[in-house]
Structure 1
Amino acid sequence: MFFFPRGGKFKYEFQKGKPWQYDNFYAPFDFSINKGEAEINSEKEKIRAGRVDYYDYDTKVAKEVDSIIQIEITQIFDDVDFSDLQIRQFQQVAKEMVEELYNNGILSKVGRPSNRNSLYLLKNNEAKKLRINNIYKLSDVSLVVENTLAKKKLTKFEPEFQQLFFNAIKPNLSFNEDLSNKELEAEFSKISYSLGNIDEGKLIIAKGEVVEEEDLRVLESLKSEYESKLWGKNNQYYVLIGYTILVAMVLTMLFLFLKKYRLEVFQDNTKITFIVVNILLMVFATTIIVKYNEGLVFVVPLCILPLILKTFFDARLGLFVHVLTVLILGFVVPNSFEYIFLQTLAGIVTILSVSELYKRANLFISVGQITLIYIVGYFAFHMIHEGNIDNIQWMAFGFFLLNGMITLFVQPLIYVFEKIFGLVSDVSLLEMSDTNSKLLKELSNRAPGTFHHSLQVANLAEAAANEIGANAMLVRVGALYHDIGKMNNPTYFTENQITNVNPHDDLDPLESGKIIIDHVIQGIEIARKNNVPDRVIDFIRTHHGTSMVYYFYKKQKALQEEIGGEVNEEDFRYPGPAPFSRETAILMMADSVEAASKSLKNPSFLVINDFVEKIVNGQIAENQFLNANITFKEIETIKKVLKQKLINIYHLRVEYPE
């Protein structure tokens, strides 16, 4: 509300070249027809072109130069056999030259006004208008000396006089900037900003009449007067209340949408703040540009908003927030219908075109499409308004290109938002997926078997995610980091045991189960210590869900049957939580299938099929996917991908005869 324009909103919408859609419109009060900004600027330019500047005349310079020349003449001709009478004659001639030169003053080359025919000379507190031709400049000094000596028939002494005057003469006129500017402002104040008056009750435009140039000028003048009258002391609060209600309605739609369709975002204050801050930044940038110059409104890269929101959330939320922001800006911008139309289309194109923003080519292609939409839309609107393409403003296309160039800066902006709000984008996920990163390098050195297992799980999970349209990059990174907790005790996990010695043989099943379960907790601690984002830590927490370490549970149960007593199942159950998204559910399936596949002795198509079905169906029976937004159809698709991948891993093919 603080950034909104201070004034009411004219209740009629109109555009040049379109019919007046309302009833006959009569002037509601007396008002003036305002000149356009271009007309006023043109008049100002004419005044500037015809201005007469003021110059100060320094009398001291003329006296000083005369004194110096009189002394120098005595010294120059003293060595030559001249009588006192002749020297006095030379001095008199020099005096006449000085008086001639400084009669109206001498201008320096730098201070000479360009493209001016005259100036005002300020001498003894009086301003006298003179033509520029009547003012000497330094280059004219030699000519004055030559002409004067020719009249006096002293041309044989010209070299001495020329040298004397060249050294002594200096300009004495200086530009009076303060007085010149005051005179210019005085002339500007005489400009009339209106072309006439319209009396109350006069018909302005009839229903169905096309809005022509003159009609547009009258309507815009009335609109300006009407909106300024609304912002009075008595009714400004009503206008503010009206604005507040409308903006509140828009933001209410946002929160209702989040509560109904994006509950996890609605319940996260950081994410809510992030969305609202982005809306505020766009409103702020647009209002600042509109106040500076309305013609630059399309320079504001509004499509950065859906780009960023799609990067951190999803396409549907990005488009919804973009449309709501455009609706809010409809109160601020001129020609709100055109603005809303073009920006909504550009937002839709942004959402439809941008995928995998971490690929640089995709961003350039998307920005190109956005810019094309702006250009084509502007071209169409111009033809509607003008009925031709003669007066098209080519500069507008430059603004659209500038908009596209600024939109390319979304990448560093995403990085800034990640650091401020603790969010993670696909660009960061791509960096984390590099197996040469510090944490993954440490995992490969300390637990090579686990590292290889993680790579295999990442390949399985990524393929499954691509098949059902989940976030493949997020799943891959989650798979690479899901078992980093095994670094603390690598030899207690079979994939890292390179000898037949199993350290679990020396431990009771309860202690062994605790070591296995603790790799989840330790993995979370390691991840947080290395600043791994929470979205990736979620995979560490959920990749076993609330399942049981069944091998050591059965071993403990058999032991308890011999000595008597009950086995507490909770001692052998992972703390959870169960997967709560499609991505974490995919990882649980891929992890369990890949780990258990190592126990297959003679894998075949039938064996792998039954094996995958048994593991995934067992997880469904244990309600591991109850909180995940994944369907049975998607689970079946994931099963097919896992089966096919395992078949490829084990190279099942026809045996060739020896």
Structure 2
Amino acid sequence: MIRFDNANTHHHGRWLVYTALVVVTVALIVSFLPRNSGPQFRYDVGKPWMYSSLIAKFDFPIYKTEETIKEEQDSITDAFEPYYNYDAKVEQEQVKRFIDNYKDGIPGLPAEYVSTIADRLHRLYLAGVMDALEYSKISRDTTSMIRIVSGKKATSVEIMCTYSTMTAYEQLFSDPKLAAQRQILQRCNLNEYIQPNIIYDEERSEGELGDMLSGIPLASGMVLSGQKIIDRGEIVDDYTYRVLNSFERETKRRSASASAVPSTIAGQVLFVGTLILLFTTYLRLFRKDYLDKPRSIAMLYVMITVFPILVSLMITHNVLSVYILPFAIAPIFIRVFVDSRTAFTAHVTMVLICAAAVKYQYEFIIVQLVAGFIAIYSLRELSQRAEIFKTALLVTLGSSGIYFALQLMQDNSILTMDHSMYAYFAVNGVLLLFAYPLMLVIEKTFGFISNVTLIELSNTNKKLLRSLSEVAPGTFQHSVMVGNLAAEIANKIGAKSQLVRTGALYHDIGKMKNSVYFTENQMGGINPLDALPRIDAAQVVISHVTDGLKMAERYNLPGVIKDFIKTHHGTGKTKYFYISYKNEHPDEPVDDTLFTYPGPDPFTREQAVLMMADTVEAAARSLKEYTEESISNLVNKLIDQQVEDGFFRTCPITFHDIAVAKQVLIERLKAIYHTRTSYPELNKKGKEEQQTQPASQYASSKKQDCADKRHEKP
């Protein structure tokens, strides 16, 4: 009864956790979804209206497009005349300063030159002199006008009628009389007496320009209540497009009330919640074992949550296009780390949720579903860079192809189609290449292991495996052989061959600590275990499992590799020492735990395959004769004993898988040890006949026998 209650408590606790996970997922997604109120229509200029007749339910203005408003603003800005204040004091100060400096005349020139230059300066200041940098900006358009304010009067003047400090200096020497004496006058530094006397009035200019821009009407026309906007099948032109935009804009403004927002949120919660519950139901019905794997569940719900949030942020803040997001990364990771059916279901759920945030939902759903299908079908195992490149290329081509097909169905002319989307698909394909480095992030975050990591771990040049080959060469060769046998079995039964091959390389690393105690590493036929008591000898052999786990911890091996170290002997016994001890102490009770491996028993098909291959490969070395019969008997006896001992009771391996494993092991061991067919022996009568044969006939028979042997199969 207590165990039953504990099981119920565990069951209810687990479902409370998953219920909370669903609630949190829905809350996160809905909190980021944009609050679109009012009807959502899909329409483009030059394409037919796909909905029923649209009648205005209220009066609303026909708003101008942003481009039109921008053009009007630019036009007003270009025609605007900025204000400049005329400062008469500048002329008075500079001219007076010049006259005072040269009251005795300019050396080398007649006295009237002082009054001539003063008159020319007066004319320049009368036209107006402005700062050279400011003048260069405004004079790019020679027709530009400015307003010069003098007292209460503002006069419009062409910019070319005024001077900058530099052009005023040059204008001074345009007088032939002064130009003739330019060399002497340059010593006077006349440019020091030319200073800006028209100053930009920033406050007045910007204030008036702002008033003019704010006065631009945002609408150009009205639509009255009851007026037909567009009918089904009519082509959307530029004017109708503006009317439809204005209708949506006004509808959104009218719907933005206190009651509309909760209504929108309620709809989004219902929509997202339904899809998440359907996905959870799929897991409950068809992938029930995943509910006991927190890391798998966490990755699935994170993948479904991340992309709707990204789409919502891009739509809300109007950042680029959602089509650049590599949605196919989600089904790729789920396909690699979980399975293809779950990848398909999760991708459909994610795309449908994302569609709630976008405007062109039909187009978005079709394109993303096709991209996801291609990713799932084209990438079975992400183990090489070339594979992800091929998938990215196929996804890009597939997305472009299906979008082109949708355009053909809606537009008769290829020339008028929107080609900007294909650039987004290209960017999407490039971003999809990041699935390769991101896979490491997924592994570290959720505790998975990919084929890329397994291939890296199976590199025999890695420090741990290189040490194994040096310290325990026999164990290393045994591990390689077991890996090859187990990988072939895994391929035949549909298990993960790369995983079991890598696990096999590391399953006996604990033997490095006491390598000479294991027969495969012994030289000269001397076994140190023979000198130890049976219990101590058993403990030395058993310790290679615990020692292996310590080494795995020290070298940060993944958990799935540690599982192979723990389960390759399961909870079996060191039978040689156990039976020997019982024979030596027939009347004493035996503590079985002293001869039993710590386990646990295999709980995956790959672990079961490794146990079978490890046991058979090790035992095959002790056969006295390698014939088909002896190998078959050995394989069947050992594996049947493992089944009988219950080692595979907690493992999802089938009897068919075990039968296939037996057949593979028999065939591979026959090939490894080159078994031959036993030759029949002559009976007594045959021997007598052979002895009575003539010499020539005997020689011929011997030649034929040699020929037969040359053509025998090895």
TM-score band w.r.t. shorter chain: 0.7 to 0.9
**Alignment partner of 2:32: what SS?**
coil
Change (3 A) 1:64 1:633: farther
Aligned pair partner of 2:174 in 130, 135, 147: 147
Q: Which residue in 2 is equivalent to 1:397?
A: 422
Q: Which residue in 1 is equivalent to 2:459?
A: 434
Q: Which residue in 1 is equivalent to 2:486?
A: 461
1:121-520 residue pairs with structure 2 within 5 A? 121=147, 123=149, 128-137=155-164, 140-141=167-168, 143-148=170-175, 150=176, 153-161=177-185, 164-166=189-191, 169=194, 185-206=210-231, 216-293=241-318, 296-520=321-545
Q: Which residue in 1 is equivalent to 2:706?
A: none
CA distance in 2, matches of 1:272, 1:657: 60
**Alignment partner of 1:197: what SS?**
strand
* 2:637 partner amino acid: K
1:593-608 residue pairs with structure 2 within 5 A? 593-608=616-631
Q: Which residue in 1 is equivalent to 2:36?
A: 7
Does the 8 Å contact 2:81/2:147 carry over to 1? no
Change (3 A) 1:271 1:176: farther
Q: Which residue in 1 is equivalent to 2:600?
A: 577
CA distance in 1, matches of 2:129, 2:55: 65
Does the 8 Å contact 1:105/1:171 carry over to 2? yes
CA distance in 2, matches of 1:171, 1:242: 66
1:629-648 residue pairs with structure 2 within 5 A? 629-648=652-671
CA distance in 2, matches of 1:98, 1:247: 75
Change (3 A) 1:551 1:18: farther
Does the 8 Å contact 1:145/1:161 carry over to 2? no
Q: Which has the larger radius of gyration?
A: 2
- Tell me how far 1:652 sits from its aligned partner: 4.5
1:188-209 C-alpha deviation (Å, 9 max, x unpaired): 4334443433333333444566
Aligned pair partner of 1:521 in 520, 537, 546: 546
RMSD of aligned Cα (Å): 3.4
CA distance in 2, matches of 1:551, 1:479: 23
CA distance in 2, matches of 1:396, 1:68: 69
CA distance in 1, matches of 2:654, 2:216: 73
**Alignment partner of 1:120: what SS?**
strand
Does the 8 Å contact 1:97/1:145 carry over to 2? no
Q: Which residue in 2 is equivalent to 1:545?
A: 570
* 2:181 partner amino acid: F
Change (3 A) 1:626 1:210: farther
Does the 8 Å contact 1:69/1:94 carry over to 2? no
**Bigger mean CA offset, 49-58 vs 516-525:** 49-58
Does the 8 Å contact 2:37/2:260 carry over to 1? no
Change (3 A) 1:69 1:594: farther
Aligned pair partner of 1:96 in 110, 118, 122: 122
Q: Which residue in 1 is equivalent to 2:688?
A: none
* 2:182 partner amino acid: E
1:47-74 C-alpha deviation (Å, 9 max, x unpaired): 4554555567677765665466556656
Gaps of 5+ in 1: none
- Tell me how far 1:631 sits from its aligned partner: 3.2
- Tell me how far 1:416 sits from its aligned partner: 2.6
**Alignment partner of 1:423: what SS?**
coil
CA distance in 2, matches of 1:461, 1:64: 102
Change (3 A) 1:476 1:141: same
1:227-263 C-alpha deviation (Å, 9 max, x unpaired): 4444421232222122112212222223333334444
Does the 8 Å contact 1:106/1:135 carry over to 2? no
**Alignment partner of 1:547: what SS?**
coil
- Tell me how far 1:45 sits from its aligned partner: 4.6
* 2:561 partner amino acid: V
Change (3 A) 1:212 1:638: farther
- Tell me how far 1:348 sits from its aligned partner: 0.9
**Are positions 1:27 and 2:56 aligned together?**
yes
Change (3 A) 1:51 1:155: closer
**Bigger mean CA offset, 162-171 vs 383-392:** 162-171
Does the 8 Å contact 2:388/2:435 carry over to 1? no
Q: Which residue in 2 is equivalent to 1:120?
A: 146
Does the 8 Å contact 2:86/2:198 carry over to 1? yes
With normalisation by structure 1, the TM-score equals 0.88
CA distance in 2, matches of 1:16, 1:154: 67
Change (3 A) 1:244 1:466: same
Does the 8 Å contact 2:475/2:508 carry over to 1? yes
CA distance in 2, matches of 1:276, 1:172: 71
1:203-227 C-alpha deviation (Å, 9 max, x unpaired): 3444566666655544444344334
**Alignment partner of 1:333: what SS?**
coil
Work out the percentage of aligned pairs sharing the same amino acid: 33
* 1:92 partner amino acid: A
Change (3 A) 1:244 1:136: same
CA distance in 1, matches of 2:443, 2:234: 54
1:554-565 residue pairs with structure 2 within 5 A? 554-561=579-586, 564-565=587-588
* 2:563 partner amino acid: D
Does the 8 Å contact 1:444/1:451 carry over to 2? yes
**Alignment partner of 1:232: what SS?**
coil
Change (3 A) 1:108 1:453: same
* 2:60 partner amino acid: F
Gaps of 5+ in 2: 1-29, 678-708
Does the 8 Å contact 1:70/1:94 carry over to 2? no
**Bigger mean CA offset, 338-347 vs 248-257:** 248-257
* 2:438 partner amino acid: L
* 2:365 partner amino acid: I
Does the 8 Å contact 1:33/1:195 carry over to 2? yes
**Alignment partner of 1:111: what SS?**
helix
Change (3 A) 1:257 1:577: farther
CA distance in 1, matches of 2:416, 2:340: 38
- Tell me how far 1:391 sits from its aligned partner: 2.4
- Tell me how far 1:347 sits from its aligned partner: 0.7
Does the 8 Å contact 1:109/1:138 carry over to 2? no
CA distance in 2, matches of 1:177, 1:264: 73
Give the length in aligned residue pairs: 650
Does the 8 Å contact 2:47/2:236 carry over to 1? yes
Aligned pair partner of 1:627 in 647, 650, 653: 650
- Tell me how far 1:603 sits from its aligned partner: 1.7
**Alignment partner of 2:585: what SS?**
helix
Q: Which residue in 1 is equivalent to 2:696?
A: none
* 1:158 partner amino acid: R
Does the 8 Å contact 2:517/2:527 carry over to 1? yes
- Tell me how far 1:352 sits from its aligned partner: 0.9
Does the 8 Å contact 1:581/1:628 carry over to 2? yes
- Tell me how far 1:121 sits from its aligned partner: 4.3
**Alignment partner of 1:77: what SS?**
coil
CA distance in 2, matches of 1:108, 1:162: 25
